[in-house]
Amino acid sequence: MVFESHKSTFNRRALLQAAMTTAAGGILAGSASSLLAQAPGPKPASNPTANPTANKGAKLVLLGTKGGPRVGGTRSNPANALVVDGKVYVIDAGMGVTAQIVKAGLNLGDIRAIFISHMHSDHELEFGNLVYNIWAAGALRTPVDAYGPVGIEAMAADFWRLNRMDIATRMVDEGKVDPATLLRAHDFAAKQGPVMAEGGVKVSAFTTPHPPIENLAYRFETPYGSVVYSGDTAYNPALADFARDVDVLVHEVLYVPGVDRLVQRANGTPAFRNHLIESHTTAEQVGQIATRARAKKLVLSHFVPGDMDWITDAMWREEVAKHYKGEIVVGRDLMEIPLG
Under 8 Å between Cβ of 80 and 90: yes
Look at residue 118 and tell me whether its pLDDT is greater than 90.
Answer: yes
pLDDT digits (tens, 9 = 90+) for 256-292: 999 998 898 888 888 889 989 999 999 999 999 999 9
Domain residue spans in the chain?
A: 1-30+152-181, 55-150+189-339
What pLDDT was estimated at residue 38?
Answer: 32
Question: Does residue 28 have a pLDDT over 90?
Answer: no
Predicted confidence band of residue 11 (pLDDT cuts 50, 70, 90): low
Instruction: For residue range 226-249, list pLDDT tens digits in order.
Output: 999 999 999 999 999 999 999 999
Sequence-distant (6+) residues with CB within 8 A of 283 are 253, 254, 255, 256, 300, 316, 319, 320
pLDDT at 26 over 60: no
Taking the C-alpha atoms of residue 212 and residue 159, their distance in angstroms, rounded to an integer, is 25
Q: Which pLDDT band, with edges at 50, 70 and 90, does 53 fall under?
A: low
Tell me: pLDDT of 339 over 80: yes
Burial classification of residue 230, based on how many CB atoms lie within 10 Å of its CB (0-12 exposed, 13-18 middle, 19 or more buried): buried
Q: How confident is the model at residue 44 (pLDDT cuts 50, 70, 90)?
A: very low
pLDDT of residue 2: 42
Domain 55-150+189-339, classified CATH 3.60.15.10, yes or no: yes
pLDDT for residue 12: 56
Q: What is the pLDDT of residue 29?
A: 38
Over the chain, what is the mean pLDDT?
A: 88
Give φ, ψ of 25 to 5 degrees. -65, -35
The pLDDT tens digits of the residues spanning 175-184 come to 999 999 999 9
pLDDT digits (tens, 9 = 90+) for 189-202: 999 999 999 989 99
Check whether 42 has a pLDDT greater than 50: no
